[in-house]
């Protein structure tokens, strides 16, 4: 598909489909948005608006029907509010949804260079719409700004997508192509399902702490005899616990999402039985099923909160949808699609991992360079004997405990995958 914005000419469907080698073309009501499609791509217009064109796309190359909204926003804040309201209304549909185009607004101050920054209200409106809809910014590769008048540079063009989109396409890349005659950079969108079969690393799940058998399971494993001394013995104990927790999670704790769905089904069936026969036994069963559902939802919320690493939201409702959105955004930001290796571009995931591993292995295994620090014309203050004695003193058990308990419970301080929350209750139990 090809989308053109503000073409400045009237649409001649026959001429332009031949010129650009496409099978069909559609435009919105004010001729500001043109949508070209190849043969085999069926496009159905759902909503035609002066600021966007909302369509349904069907093709044999797609895993399912998708919905796309192509944007050409007004230059002024008031009419753009109408656009934000319309996008919020469309977002209530749980379908794979991609939104892209010229939004004529920025999300962050660093998306503007030059000119003034008096459009804070417009930026707030855009951010409010993103929060209300749960849309995810796809990010970009290339130049940071998409529009310029050679005095001001802004990122006005972008691509957003819904949570459901990520379930159909786990990788969505947006490239800012070189600008030629236009004052905007073209955007190239590539969406695909990329199978990356890398082994998953161990991560302690804080929700495990809420299971009644957790501490006993850890204690039994920790107290088993272990060969060796010192840190080697500690490492062997930690490794044994990691293996045990993986099996315990699979056989005892179970999949949290499956548990939630089963709890919902049990609560629904218990409610139906109570409606048909409001007996004491059915009432007890209904209360028990609802309690199990609440507990399962709390575990699910704890899972997404830890995975999203959201530290500022501590209380209130479970906010599972919000945490899930944060996780999706983190994945977009942390994904590396390409690197440069000896002036060669590397895009294959396995090659990227191998290159990064080789780089740091070489960096950490090479001979240390000689310290060539310059000589300063002044002397630094000398460390006193009292400070030296304090620095060299071994910490007390109480100091160690205070430091450990001050760490955020979701933080993972080392490569073993154990969070701070796993140390506190287990440590007390094993003392």
CATH architecture of 2-192: 4-Layer Sandwich (3.60)
Sorted by sequence, the CB contacts under 8 Å of residue 260 that are 6+ apart come out as: 293, 296, 297, 299, 300
**Predicted model pTM:** 0.62
Q: Which residue has the tokens 């892209």?
A: 100
Residue with structure tokens 């939104």? 99
Output the CA–CA distances (angstroms, integers) from residue 248 to 236, 244, 287, 327, in the order listed: 18, 6, 28, 25
CA proximity to 70, closest of 34, 94, 120, 105: 34
Cα dihedral: 293, 299, 300, 305 (round 10) = 150
CA distance 292 to 260: 9
pLDDT tens for the 431 residues of the chain, in order = 999 999 888 999 999 999 999 999 999 989 999 999 999 999 999 999 999 999 999 998 888 999 999 999 999 999 999 999 999 999 998 899 999 999 999 999 999 998 776 678 899 999 999 989 989 898 888 899 999 998 999 999 999 999 889 888 888 889 999 988 889 999 999 988 776 666 677 888 888 888 889 888 888 888 888 887 888 888 888 888 888 998 999 889 989 889 999 999 999 999 999 999 999 999 999 999 999 999 999 888 888 877 776 554 554 445 566 666 666 666 666 777 778 887 787 877 778 888 888 888 887 776 655 556 667 777 778 888 888 888 888 888 888 888 877 777 666 666 677 777 776 665 544 44
Nearest to 126 by CA among 73, 176, 90: 73
Other Cβ atoms closer than 10 A to 276:
9
**Could you give the CA distance from residue 429 to residue 431 in angstroms, rounded to a whole number?**
6
Asked if 242 and 417 count as a contact pair (C-beta separation under 8 A), the reply is yes
Backbone phi, then psi, for 344, in 5-degree steps?
Answer: -120, 135
Q: DSSP for 341-371? A: ETTEEE--HHHHHHHHHHHHHHHHHSPPPP-
Q: Give yes or no for a contact between 104 and 75, defined as CB atoms under 8 angstroms apart.
A: yes
- Per-residue model confidence (pLDDT) at position 311: 54
- Distance, C-alpha 284 to centroid of its chain: 41
Burial class from Cβ neighbours inside 10 Å (0-12, 13-18, 19+) for residue 1 reads middle
pLDDT at 413: 62
- Strands 136-137 and 187-192 turn out to be unpaired
The stretches of 249-319 forming alpha helices (DSSP H) are 256-276, 280-308
Beta bridge pairs of residue 191:
172
Report how far residue 379's alpha carbon sits from residue 300's, in angstroms, rounded to the nearest whole number.
57
What's the confidence (pLDDT) of residue 431?
44
Q: Are 299 and 207 in contact (CB under 8 A)?
A: yes
* DSSP code, position 21: T
pLDDT of residue 315: 45
Predicted pLDDT at 84: 95
- Give the domain ranges of the chain: 2-192, 206-334
**Of 265, 251, 249, which is closest to residue 299 (Cα–Cα)?**
249
Burial 23-40 (b: 16+ CB within 10 A, else e): eebbbbeeebbbbbbeee
The per-residue pLDDT for 139 is 87
Give me the sheet containing 187-192, strands edge to edge: 141-142, 171-176, 187-192
Contact (Cβ atoms closer than 8 angstroms) between residue 249 and residue 234: no
Helices in 156-229 by DSSP H: which ranges? 163-168, 214-222
- Token output for 157: 């063009």
* Alpha carbons 82 and 293: distance in angstroms, whole number: 39
Rounded CA gap, 258 and 15, in Å? 54
> How confident is the model at residue 2, as a pLDDT?
93
Interacting residues of 37 by C-beta distance below 8 A, sequence separation 6+: 1, 22, 23, 24, 25, 26, 43
pLDDT at position 323 is 62
């Amino acid at each position: 598909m090809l989308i053109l914005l503000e073409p400045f000419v009237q649409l001649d469907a026959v001429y332009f489909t031949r010129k650009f080698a496409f099978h069909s073309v559609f435009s919105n009501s004010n001729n500001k948005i043109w949508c070209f499609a190849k043969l085999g791509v069926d496009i159905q217009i759902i909503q035609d608006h002066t600021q966007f064109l909302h369509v349904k796309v069907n093709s044999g190359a797609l895993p399912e029907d998708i919905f796309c909204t192509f944007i050409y926003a007004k230059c002024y804040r008031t009419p753009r509010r109408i656009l934000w309201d319309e996008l919020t209304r469309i977002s209530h549909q749980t379908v794979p949804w991609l939104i892209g185009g010229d939004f004529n607004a920025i999300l962050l101050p660093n998306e503007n260079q030059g000119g003034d920054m008096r459009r804070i209200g417009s930026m707030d409106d855009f951010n409010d719409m993103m929060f209300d809809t749960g849309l995810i910014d796809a990010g970009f590769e290339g130049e940071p700004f998409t529009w310029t008048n050679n005095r001001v540079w802004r990122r006005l063009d972008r691509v957003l997508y819904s949570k459901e989109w990520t379930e159909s396409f786990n990788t969505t890349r947006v490239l800012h192509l070189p600008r030629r005659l236009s004052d905007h950079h073209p955007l190239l969108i590539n969406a695909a399902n990329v199978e990356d079969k890398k082994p998953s690393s161990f991560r302690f799940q804080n929700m495990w702490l809420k299971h009644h058998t957790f501490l006993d399971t850890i204690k039994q494993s920790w107290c088993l005899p272990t060969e060796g001394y010192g840190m080697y013995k500690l490492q062997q104990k930690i490794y044994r616990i990691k293996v045990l927790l993986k099996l315990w999670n699979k056989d005892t704790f179970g999949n949290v999402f499956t548990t939630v769905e089963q709890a919902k089904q049990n609560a629904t069936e218990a409610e139906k039985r109570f409606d048909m026969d409001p007996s004491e036994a059915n009432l007890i069963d209904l209360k028990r099923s609802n309690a199990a559902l609440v507990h399962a939802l709390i575990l699910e919320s704890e899972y997404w909160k830890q995975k999203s690493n959201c530290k500022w939201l501590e209380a209130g409702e479970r906010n599972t949808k919000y945490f899930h959105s944060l996780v999706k955004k983190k994945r977009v930001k942390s994904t590396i699609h390409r690197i440069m290796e000896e002036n060669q571009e590397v895009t294959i995931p396995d090659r990227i991992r191998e290159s990064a591993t080789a780089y740091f292995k070489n960096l950490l295994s090479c001979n240390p360079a000689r310290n060539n620090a310059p000589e300063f014309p002044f002397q630094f203050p000398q460390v006193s004997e009292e400070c030296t004695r304090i620095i060299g003193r071994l910490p007390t058990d109480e100091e160690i405990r205070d430091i450990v308990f001050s760490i955020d419970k979701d933080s993972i301080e080392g490569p073993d995958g154990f969070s701070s929350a796993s140390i506190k209750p287990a440590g007390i139990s094993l003392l």
